[in-house]
Amino acid sequence: MQGLMMNYPLTLQHAFTRATTIFSRNTIVTQTEGEPHCYTYKEWGERVMQLANALRQAGVQQGDRVATFGWNTYRHFELYYAVPCMGAVLHTLNIRLFVDQLLYIINEAEDKFIFVDGDLVPLLEKLAPQLPSVQLYVIMGEAPYGTGALQPAVDYEAFLAGQPAVYEWPQLEEDTAAAMCYTSGTTGNPKGVVYSHRSIFLHSLGVCLADGMGLCEQDVALPVVPMFHANAWGIPHAAAFTGTSLVFPGRFLDPARLARLMESQHVTISAGVPTIWIGLLHLLEREQYDLSALRAIYCGGSAAPRSLIEGLARKGINLLHAWGMTETSPLASMARPRRLQAEQSLDELFRVKATQGTISACVDFRVVDMETGQQVPWDGRSYGELQVRGPWVARAYYKDTGSAARFADGWLRTGDVAVVDENGMLQLVDRTKDLVKSGGEWISSVELEGLIMGHPKVLEACVIGVPHPKWGERPLACVVPKPEYADQITTEELFEHLRPKVAKWALPDAIIFVEAIPKTSVGKFDKKVLRQRFETYPLD
C-alpha cells in the first residue's frame, strides 16, 4: 500500500516564489565602499527574472554551467536563484585557489559563462586564453584594474537592461542539478560536488530547524563564510524559504568593518570560520560595539578552540559549533547543549560546545576503526573515521574523480577522526592526515591547538607532525602571539600552560613563534604548507 500524498517536486522555484510574495518587503543589504546597497525581496525577485531572461536570450540552456567569481553581494545572490530556477547549474568558483586549480575546475566543469566582480577581473584575465568553454564574461561592477583581456564581456547592469521582470520557470525534476562546488583541493585536484534541487531544498529545511541554525523570518543573517564555500553553508538558500533579511559583507571582511556592519544592521546571526571570529574577539577586547542583537554566531570549517567560545561568551556572544563539509551541503552536526547537560557545570557546558555535538536530522553516521573497519564503541575514547550518509550528502564526485576512495558501501568517508560518547555526541579529534603518529600512539593536533590557543597571550596556533628518527613523528607547534604580547611571551610559559593538561609523551617537542599561519582558500590552517616548511626542523 502506498501513501496518497501529492508528488510535489522539491525545487528552488518554491523558495523563490515564497520569498518574493510572502516576504516581499524584507530586505537584502550589501556593504559597499560607500553607503550600503539595500533593496527588498520583491525588487530582488524582479531582477532575478530579468537575469534569467538575459541568460536565456544569450543562449544558456538547461544543464549549462554558469560560473561565479565573486564576493558575497546582492548580485551574487541574484545568480543563486536565476541560474538553477531556469534549469542551469550555478558553479561558484573559489577566488582564492591557485591558478592551476582554477584552470582545472573551470575546464572540467566546462563553464559557459563566468560572472566576475570587477575588482577580481585581473585574476581571471591571466586564465582567459586557456578557457575554451567560456563564451561570455559578465562584469559585476567596474573593473578598475582590468586590461580588457576578458572577451567577449558585458557589464552586468547592461546585461539585465531592458529585460522583462517576468519569467515562466520550466517544470524541473527535483533531482535536477542546481549548483556545484569543488572541494578546496588540499590533496590532489579539487573534486566536484553537484547539488540537486532536492538536496538544497531539504538542506535548507535542516538549516531552519531549531536544532540547526534556527533561521526564521525575524532574523537578520550575515553570512561571512564565502558564497563559494559550500553555498555559504546554505544560509542564502534557507533565507529565501523563511524570508530572513540578509546582509552581505562584500569584500570588506576585516573585524572592524564586520563589527560595524553587525551593529548598524542589527544582525541576529552570522557564520564563518574560526579565524574570522578570533579576529573579532581580539577587536572586542580592545573596542566597544553594540552587538546585543546577535543571538548566535555559527562557526565551522575547522575546530573552534574552547578559548574562543569562552572569550566570546564573556562578550555576551553565543558561538555555536557546527560541522560539515562541501560533500554534506554542508550542515551535518551542531553542538547545542542538550537536555542531559542542562544542570551540569559551566565548565561542562563549554566542553560540550567545543565538540561537534549532535548529528543533524536526516543524516546518519558511524565511526569506524581505521584499521579493522569495525564500528568503535560509543565510549568517548575510541578513535575512528567519521562516515555519513543522507539526502544532502554526496554519493559521488563530478565525473567520478576520486569517488572510489571516498565512498564505501553507501557511506561518505569524511577523513575526519572522531570519538562518540554514550549519548551519541560527536567530537572530532583530527583529520586522518593531520594526526601525529608517534611511537605507535596517536596525538591529536586539534586538541593541542585548542589548548595552546587557550593561553591569554596567543592569537593562533597550528600543530603539525615533523619526521623523527626514533618516534616516526613528533608534534611541532607554530604559534602566533597576540600583537601586544609579541615581545612578552616565551615558549617555557606555553609549556607550563600545557603540562597540567597533556600527557608528557603528547607534548610538542618544540614551540616556535611565527608571524602568521598560512591559510587555505577557505580560511583553514594550511598544514600542508607548514609541513613542507618544517619537514627538516631539528627536534631534540
Domains in the chain: boundaries:
12-253, 436-534
Q: What is the pLDDT of residues 73-121, one digit of tens each?
A: 999 999 999 999 999 999 999 998 888 889 999 999 999 999 999 999 9
SS3 406: helix
Query: At 92, is the secondary structure helix, strand, or coil?
Result: strand
Q: Are 12 and 81 a contacting pair, CB within 8 Å?
A: yes
Q: DSSP secondary-structure letter at 410?
A: T
Work out the pLDDT band at 187, boundaries 50, 70, 90. Answer: low
Catalytic residue list contains 183: yes
DSSP bridge partners of 113: 66, 136
Candidate list 68, 73, 183, 401, residue with the active-site label: 183
From the list 46, 327, 447, 460, the catalytic residue is: 327
Give the C-alpha separation, 335 to 319, whole Å.
10
Q: Other C-beta atoms within 10 Å of 180: how many?
A: 21
Active site residue 268: no
Predicted TM-score of the model (pTM): 0.86
> Helix (H) and strand (E) counts for the chain?
16, 26
**Which residues have CB under 8 Å from 101's CB, separation 6+?**
185, 189, 190
Cell numbers of 428, please?
Answer: 572530532
Measure the CA–CA gap between 425 and 352, rounded to whole angstroms.
9
Catalytic-role residue among 32, 263, 315, 442: 442
Please tell me the CATH superfamily of domain 436-534, with its number.
ANL, C-terminal domain (3.30.300.30)
Mean predicted lDDT score pLDDT of the chain: 93
Domain 12-253 is classified in which CATH homologous superfamily? ANL, N-terminal domain (3.40.50.12780)
**Strand, coil or helix: 461:** strand
For the segment 297-321, the average pLDDT, to the nearest whole number, is 92
Cα–Cα dist 441/420, whole Å: 19
Of the candidate ranges 58-62, 432-436, 465-469, 533-537, the one whose mean pLDDT is the lowest: 432-436
Mean of the pLDDT values across residues 30-46? 97
Candidate list 126, 433, 437, 501, residue with the active-site label: 437
